[in-house]
Structure 1
Amino acid sequence: MQTSIQDKYLKVQVETASPGELTLLLYQELVRTLYKARQLGTQGEWFNSVEPLHKGRDILFELMSTLDMKYDLSKDLYELYSFYAQCIATVIIKHDGDLLDEVLDFAKGMLDTWKQVLQIVKSGNTL
């Protein structure tokens, strides 16, 4: 029952979000998913961490697909996302908790940065 309510809420949130808010939702889900994988890995359940790790890679691939490659920043972000997607693949194979922590730090940093960008945009200030 609770999951159904959460799913409906998320569906409405996604359907009414701006492109910037959608990106924020992707970063939030990336961090949440990587935390889940990290928790499972810490508990020695690396086999069960594979699903959230694949989900994290899928989110990075989705972020890559949204980039407008005519901008240098987009090209740089593409390289970063690609690098961290490869890191997740390594984590899946080697069960490397330290590498997963690095990916999680990257995701948290991107989430924090994107929150700040949206606040600046909403306030009408220029970057």
Structure 2
Amino acid sequence: MLQRNYQQQYQKMQVETASPGELTLLLYQEIIKSLLNAKDLFSREKYQEMREPIYKAQRIINELIITLDMEHEISHQLYQLYHYHNRRLADFLLKKDLLILEEVITFAREITETWKQALAILKSGVSRV
């Protein structure tokens, strides 16, 4: 119980002190965590319990969608990616096809890694063309 309290305090401080870019990274990481939790529950045939981490991932993706600044072309591309993968999670819940879940996990991992690299470039002040 005490350990969990420390973890919650750490997470709260992490969110409160994060830049917008770092917050996005935290959201991506939370999507991965939720999807891996859902995969674990799926593997143990706990289909009802599996729904909550899927819904959590979908809520996070929806939050990412509504925060997009559609004045930028990249936002339109991200919108398409987010929307597609959110639909795939709905497909997974209907079909219970692990390949669908794996597809979304792969996407979440790749976009997280890309975002980490973008943040590192921003922090270093280096601009690539």
- Give the shorter-chain TM-score range: over 0.9
Superposed displacement of residue 46, structure 1: 1.7
Figure out how many residues of one structure are paired with residues of the other and give that number.
127
SS in 1 for 2:45: coil
- 2:50 is matched with 49
Unaligned runs of 5+ in 1: none
Contact 1:42/1:97, CA 8 A, preserved across alignment: no
> Matches of 2:98 and 2:43 in 1, distance apart?
8
RMSD of the TM alignment (CA)? 0.8
- 2:65 is matched with 64
> Matches of 1:84 and 1:47 in 2, distance apart?
21
Unaligned runs of 5+ in 2: none
Superposed displacement of residue 66, structure 1: 1.4
- 2:107 is matched with 106
Percent sequence identity over aligned pairs: 44
> Matches of 2:80 and 2:103 in 1, distance apart?
16
TM-score (norm 1): 0.96
Q: Deviations over 1:76-122 (max 9, x none)?
A: 10111011111111111221211000000000000000000011001
> Matches of 1:80 and 1:117 in 2, distance apart?
18
